Amino acid sequence: MNIPQTCNAVVLNGPSDFSNGQITLPSLKKGEVLVKMAFTPVNPSDLAFLTGNYGLKKAFPVVPGLEGSGTVIASGGGFLANNVLNKRVACSAPAAGNGTWAEYMITDGNKCIALKPEVSLEQGSMFFVNPLTALSFSKQAKKTNADLVVLTAADSALAKMILFFMKNAGIPVLGIVRKPERTAPLETEGFKKVISSSDSDFQNNVKAFTKGYRNVMFFDALGGGSLSYSLLNALPDKAQMVIYGRLDLTEPGFSPQDILFKENIIRGYWLSKEAGRKSLIEILLDVRKVQKMLTSGFETKIQDTVGIADIAEGLDKYVKNMSAGKVLLKF
Ligand SMILES: NC(=O)c1ccc[n+]([C@@H]2O[C@H](COP(=O)([O-])OP(=O)(O)OC[C@H]3O[C@@H](n4cnc5c(N)ncnc54)[C@H](OP(=O)(O)O)[C@@H]3O)[C@@H](O)[C@H]2O)c1
């Protein structure tokens, strides 16, 4: 096998300053693998990383990209690295150093999962970020005996995965979207109800639908703005809000007395932190559930695949219409 010493990559030189460039590939250390990348998605977390707004910071210059798929073509040795050698894998980026938006990536062998033959490299490139989050939310909802789950950004790729796991758990899901024309199609996909936040009677519609529920869990992708908090205010007392995204970058608009008198709980969720606390057994069980989801016919919608030279156009296309599906980088 010819091991390359350099390769093409997207290089981030500072916040919002990226270009196509070449990176050098150092020799592999024990436990590491070299992945010949096939596909990598653009996720909201990547947009946050590009602009310097993500929870994980890396020294510049750096290759962005948190997850992807490809083939392991070399191993630095050790059981976990050798175990995935010559396999098609889903892979995630190392905690420090270059990420997935490159022709080749060096990562830890334990950050690679061999894909089942039925899972395409396109779908496999989105193995970690959204599926593991959706799985975690279904566990959290079951643990708290939630009788209703509420989602903002209900037309997102992650929301469809959350719906998949909630259906399995038998928990109904209320979706909130900002485009009224998306309510009916999403209800046919299995949401118990979908309400548009642009309805003039939005809060009353939410109140009318949720009034019989006693234990509501609200997973919020927006974080900022006032919509999420007026939604929380319209939910039954004691509803629990889990903020997991910051799609709305404006200042959060809430009144503490609403939260106080309704006895709400508001907390945050970040997969990276949770993943660091998991045992190997828990990780293996989760991975098995994600493989099962991906081999059950579930697919994330893909609107386009672009080459590395067209990254700027690809990002633009994704940002302009996120609900149309993921944009993948193809190597
Ligand atoms: N905390 C964690 O560990 C974690 C893990 C995974 C994902 N996430 C978060 O989960 C969220 C969804 O990710 P994804 O990959 O599923 O995204 P996605 O498929 O790209 O979809 C994004 C969705 O957000 C909607 N949206 C964008 N900006 C909005 C705004 N200002 N107000 C209302 N809706 C807005 C879009 O709807 P329109 O059609 O209306 O534009 C679109 O449906 C992101 O915030 C991501 O960062 C967090």
**pLDDT given for residue 300 in this prediction:** 97
Nearest to 209 by CA among 226, 231, 177: 231
Q: Are 191 and 175 in contact (CB under 8 A)?
A: yes
Helical spans, DSSP H, in the chain: 44-50, 79-83, 121-124, 129-143, 157-169, 183-188, 202-210, 227-234, 256-262, 271-276, 280-294, 311-320
Q: How far is the CA of 315 from the centre of ligand 1 (A)?
A: 14
Atom 8, ligand 1: which residue's CA is nearest?
245
Ligand 1 pocket test: pick from 247, 274, 304 the residue with the most ligand atoms within 8 Å of its Cβ: 247
**pLDDT given for residue 2 in this prediction:** 77
CA distance 223 to 331: 34
All residue ranges of the chain with pLDDT < 70 are 1
Tokens of 290: 């994600």
Measured from the CB, is residue 323 less than 6 Å from ligand 1? yes
CA distance 46 to 319: 11
Measured from the CB, is residue 163 less than 6 Å from ligand 1? no
Give the single-character DSSP code of 25.
-
CA 182 to ligand 1: nearest atom: 39
Nearest to 150 by CA among 179, 176, 180: 176
Q: Is the pTM of this model over 0.85?
A: yes
Tokens of 200: 């003039």
CA distance 151 to 162: 9
Measured from the CB, is residue 45 less than 6 Å from ligand 1? yes
**pLDDT given for residue 308 in this prediction:** 93
141-192: pLDDT as tens digits: 999 999 999 999 999 999 999 999 999 999 999 999 999 999 999 999 999 9
CA geometry: angle 131, 133, 134, nearest 5 deg: 65
Compute how many other C-beta atoms are within 10 angstroms of the C-beta atom of residue 181. 8
Measured from the CB, is residue 244 less than 6 Å from ligand 1? yes
Tokens of 147: 């009788």
**pLDDT given for residue 1 in this prediction:** 67
The DSSP code sequence of 123-180 is HHTTSSHHHHHHHHHHHHHHHTT-SEEEESSTTSHHHHHHHHHHHHHT--EEEEES-G
**pLDDT given for residue 205 in this prediction:** 98
Q: How far is the CA of 156 from the centre of ligand 1 (A)?
A: 6
Tokens of 99: 């990420």
CA distance 200 to 195: 11
Q: How far is the CA of 28 from the centre of ligand 1 (A)?
A: 36
Compute how many other C-beta atoms are within 10 angstroms of the C-beta atom of residue 61. 16
CA 248 to ligand 1: nearest atom: 31
**pLDDT given for residue 283 in this prediction:** 93
Measured from the CB, is residue 231 less than 6 Å from ligand 1? no
